[in-house]
Amino acid sequence: MKAVILAGGLGTRISEETHLKPKPMIEIGGKPILWHIMKTYSAYGVNDFVICCGYKGYLIKEYFANYFLHMSDVTFDMANNQMKVHQQKAEPWKVTLVDTGEDTLTGGRLKRVTDYIQNEDAFCFTYGDGVSNVDIRTSIEFHRQHGKLATVTAVQPPGRYGALERSGDQVTGFAEKPRGDGGLINGGFFVLSPRCLDFIEGDHSSWEGAPLTRLAKMGEMMAYEHNGFWQPMDTLRDKNHLEELWASGKAPWKIW
């Protein structure tokens, strides 16, 4: 199965970092948060990634082009024009990096990678700026069992986010930013049928807008409830919190 990861946004709320790099390349423990997300998927056997690049996407491409240089010791033999990589730390990953436009919205980015996922029976889809210890394998099994077009991972964060409205496991709508009522929200980590892309009109379509609303109203979206750790990296404070968790040696999302 493939995993599509959004990695093209500007990240304006954490501009202290994103004026130099795309948000998914902000480091936690010396590794981009994008790497942490990919390691989570890889722990459950999902190793084929499609990365939706946009703002400063060349930095993401350069990171993967030079992955060995980032992860291993290297000797440069200048006299003989040779490079030797020591202790190679290869990942079992296939990574497709797609330029989805600098100003494209989330739905539009997903629509632009249609060619890479249209032949899949289902694929994973998430944002490039949050980590979790969600059980990816179980969410995929849940998706296959219910037979609907879409599965969203439902999480319970602080009340500053919009909440899912549900009837059992079925998503029926979305409520805007309830305050501390314990409502579940869209935590990303979707499992989708490629048919979901038919609900996206183009570059200026937000995935969180009309596509999700239409799927919910049609009864084609189910919620996989995750009661464990989930943390987006929206602000510098969030970033520092994740850094502290990683430095403690007990980062909840480190399941590999």
- Give per-residue pLDDT as tens, 90-144: 789 999 999 999 999 999 999 999 999 999 999 999 999 999 999 999 999 999 9
pLDDT (0 to 100) of residue 174: 79
Of residues 187 and 68, the one with the higher pLDDT is: 187
Is the Cβ–Cβ distance between 119 and 113 less than 8 Å? no
Is the Cβ–Cβ distance between 98 and 53 less than 8 Å? yes
Of residues 21 and 60, the one with the higher pLDDT is: 60
pLDDT at residue 184 is higher than 70: yes
pLDDT (0 to 100) of residue 243: 95
Using CB atoms within 10 A of its CB, is residue 38 exposed (0-12), middle (13-18) or buried (19+)? buried
pLDDT at residue 181 is higher than 60: no
Q: Closest Cα partner for 222 from 144, 159, 134, 120? A: 144
pLDDT (0 to 100) of residue 162: 63
Average pLDDT over residues 235-243: 91
211 Cβ contact partners less than 8 Å away, ≥ 6 residues apart: 107, 196, 199, 200, 205
pLDDT (0 to 100) of residue 176: 62
How many CB atoms within 10 Å of residue 83? 12
pLDDT (0 to 100) of residue 211: 96
pTM of the model: 0.87
Q: 168-172, 214-218, 245-249: which has the minimum mean pLDDT?
A: 168-172
3-class state of residue 138 by DSSP: helix
Average pLDDT over residues 51-70: 91
pLDDT (0 to 100) of residue 201: 94
Average of per-residue pLDDT values in the chain: 90
CA gap 102, 178 in Å, rounded: 31
Handedness of CA 9, 10, 12, 14 (dihedral sign): positive
What is the Cα gyration radius of the chain?
19
